[in-house]
Amino acid sequence: MKLLGLNLGGFFSQVDDFTQNHLDNFITEEDISRIKDWNFNCLRLPVDFHFFENQKEPYDYIEERLKKIEIVLSWAQKYDMKLILDLHKAPGHTFETREDNKNTIWRNNSQNRKRFLKIWEFLANRFKDQDNIIYELLNEPVALKDHFWYDLAEEAIKIIRNIDETHEIIIESNLWGKTDCFNNMPLFKDDKIIYSFHYYQPHWVTHQMAEWISFYVKNIHRKKEFYPGKIELPSEKYNKLGDNFYLKRFKEELGYHWDIEKMKSTIQPVIDFKEKNNVPILCGEFGVVAKASPIVRKNWIEDLMFIFKENKISYTYWTYKNMDFGLFDFTEKYDNNPNYQNEKRLDEPTLKALQEGAF
């Protein structure tokens, strides 16, 4: 299966207030038509559980919001595109490191685990007759032990397959979709599983100056970085990282010259898993924050696209619009940003690089 496309981040996920104006205008059919004209065949639709679940009455789902999802599905169907229904935030789970105490989903028999499984039972019943849907169980799982996540995924797969034997299911590797977690990725006994990862390495480049990232918040690193290039920190800054479980992934990226060869070496566990098991692979998210210079964005995307094309890895870029990584950006925050210096507010070099990554 070949999936080449974009995320629709910030539409039904990571939104403070789902106003009617936002729901009617953030993404329209015109956007889907444009994405199709760019020769993409897939959309990844991140959806937070609280978008459609009644927060006062768990297990009660909001019909009006579900119909919004169905509208996007119908647009994708009209333009002959697959749509990945990504449960971006789930009850009892967060990929935000500062909120890791909320991750009760891994506890057997917890109420949030039951809610998660019930959500997938409901969604499978709701969408089983949609030709173009793909289910993505959970965005960026963060479990202290890999098997916590894979055991839960196995439960969810069984529930879905009791209802829907047809559609593909995406399973992402543990720890935010880390590539090296493919070393412990199980091969599920289901021939319609797509194995997924996210790629933002090195974060010092892809998330440079991002005000939410921990090394910025802690004033460890607040400067521009280049790609290709070597990432280094003064010892006093490095020591501030400590031995935190979540900051470990950032420490692992330091001291190396990052280029296409280094990039490929970090993706090698995914490539090995793909070749050994002959299974489809998707990179569900990747990108460089708009605070990086245009040449850094371009160089990083071009190298990653070369690796994806060479190894026939499907992809959905993060993201179509706004959200600090968008191909388009219409926010005041990036009003004078050099990545969007045309009337369309479109990062054309990144779009071109994505299109050239098609295999």
Encode pLDDT of 327-358 as tens digits.
999 999 999 999 999 999 999 999 999 999 88
- Percent of the chain, pLDDT > 90? 87
Output phi, psi for 212, to 5 deg: -100, -15
| pLDDT tens track for 211-246 | 999 888 888 889 999 999 999 988 778 777 777 777
Q: Of 53, 168, 225, 285, which is the active-site residue?
A: 285
pTM: 0.97
- What pLDDT is attached to residue 99? 59
**CA separation, residue 230 to residues 84, 204, 218, 271 (Å):** 36, 10, 21, 24
Q: Is the pLDDT of residue 100 over 70?
A: no
Percent of the chain with pLDDT over 70: 99
Per-residue model confidence (pLDDT) at position 185: 98
Phi–psi pair at 7, nearest 5 degrees:
-80, 150
* Per-domain boundaries in the chain: 4-212+259-356
Among candidate residues 53, 136, 140, 225, the one labeled active-site is 140
Confidence of residue 98 (pLDDT cuts 50, 70, 90): low
**Does residue 253 carry a catalytic annotation?**
no
Q: What is the pLDDT of residue 101?
A: 62
Q: Is the pLDDT of residue 9 over 80?
A: yes
Confidence (pLDDT) at 353: 96
How do residues 124-177 score in pLDDT, each as one tens digit?
Answer: 999 999 999 999 999 999 998 999 999 999 999 999 999 999 999 999 999 999
Q: Which pLDDT does position 97 carry in this prediction?
A: 62
Q: Write the pLDDT tens digit of every residue in 241-279.
A: 777 777 778 889 999 999 999 999 999 999 999 999 999
Alpha helices, H only, the chain? 20-25, 29-37, 49-52, 63-78, 111-127, 146-161, 174-177, 203-206, 214-217, 235-240, 248-251, 260-277, 294-311, 348-356
Cross-strand partners of 135:
85, 169
pLDDT given at position 90: 97
pLDDT for res 148 = 96
Q: Is the pLDDT of residue 188 over 90?
A: yes
Residue with tokens 């106003």: 19
Residue 72 clears pLDDT 80, i.e. is over it:
yes
| pLDDT mean over 290-310 | 98
Over residues 51-68, the mean pLDDT reads 96
What is the fold of 4-212+259-356? Answer: TIM Barrel (3.20.20)
140 assigned to active site: yes
- 296 in Cβ contact with 263 (< 8 Å): no
Query: Mean pLDDT across the chain, nearest whole number?
Result: 95
Report pLDDT for 217: 86
Half-sphere exposure at residue 348, Cβ-oriented, CA atoms within 13 angstroms: 5
Q: Give exposure, 277-297, as e/b (b: 16+ Cβ within 10 Å).
A: eeebbbbbbbbbbbbbbbebb
